[in-house]
Amino acid sequence: MSKLIWLLGWALLSSAFAQPLKLTTGNDFPPYSDPRLPQGGFASALVQQVLDQAGLNHQLAFNSWTRGYQLTSRLEYDLTFPYVRTQEREQDFAFSLALFDLATSIVVLDQQLAILSAKQPQGLTLCRPEGYSTSVAELHGLKLVQPLNLEACLQMLYHQRVDGILLTPSIAIFSAMQMGLDWSKLVQLGPTLANESLHLMISHKHPELEQLLPKINDAISHLLAESSSDERLKLYLSQLN
């Protein structure tokens, strides 16, 4: 009887995993997440490789960061990515192992570098898109404005309506290139403020949480043991040229 119950449970679990997992990510986080890029960006490609490794069917959709977060919290999507782990998010979501790390800095225009270098970072007005983690800004007491997307931040910076953008410099440069802006004007102000890992998130309310997360973490461990996220990113970027 116990063997029959085990087989029935396995059959039900296999049936649940046979349904494609619904994934969502954001629109404007190049080269990591952007529908204009091959495979939807590096993070999207990596996550899909992870799920393939785990033997999990999946389908990917793009939403605004805020909408994707909310819909995943309401179980309309199974997983969302890539997100920095914060105490606030941990109240609603469980996190996978780290997919990759990013360095967060203040990015400014080169002609403003000398003037802004003389100021304290807390006296600057910085831009960071809505839906991005604000933990670094809170930690350092930085003043933020938060428009809907990264393109708006870059437009505000180039029109000098903000002093800088709080972001990974390579993301700012890649986005400026996509927009046709002079990316060579972008420089880093001061030291790197934080190195943060990014993860997949799944709601604590998800009925398959206890089964899905170990499978996903095993797949992440396996893939990144074969080749690091930095090596995989270099390969991905080389294929864009």
Rounded CA-CA distance 186/179 in Å is: 14
CB–CB of 26/175 below 8 Å? no
CB atoms near residue 173 (< 10 Å)? 19
Q: Is the dihedral of CA 230, 201, 171, 47 positive or negative?
A: positive
The answer to whether residue 13 scores a pLDDT higher than 90 is no
* Average pLDDT over every residue of 17-29: 88
What SS3 state is found at 241?
Answer: coil
Specify the range with the lowest mean pLDDT, choosing from 14-23, 43-52, 175-184, 201-210.
Answer: 14-23
Rounded CA-CA distance 145/165 in Å is: 9
Share of the chain above pLDDT 70, in %: 92
When pLDDT is cut at 50, 70 and 90, the band that residue 27 belongs to is confident
Q: Beta partners for 144?
A: 126
Q: Residue type at 106?
A: I
Tens of pLDDT, residue by residue over 168-205, are 999 999 999 999 999 999 999 999 999 999 999 999 99
When pLDDT is cut at 50, 70 and 90, the band that residue 15 belongs to is very low
Tens of pLDDT, residue by residue over 70-95, are 999 999 999 999 999 999 999 999 99
Tens of pLDDT, residue by residue over 112-170, are 999 999 999 999 999 999 989 999 999 999 999 999 999 999 999 999 999 999 999 99
The answer to whether residue 2 scores a pLDDT higher than 60 is no
The answer to whether residue 7 scores a pLDDT higher than 50 is no
Q: Residue type at 176?
A: A
User: What mean pLDDT, rounded, does the chain reach?
Assistant: 92
Domains along the chain? 2-100+198-238 (3.40.190.10), 102-196 (3.40.190.10)
Q: Residue type at 77?
A: Y
When pLDDT is cut at 50, 70 and 90, the band that residue 17 belongs to is low
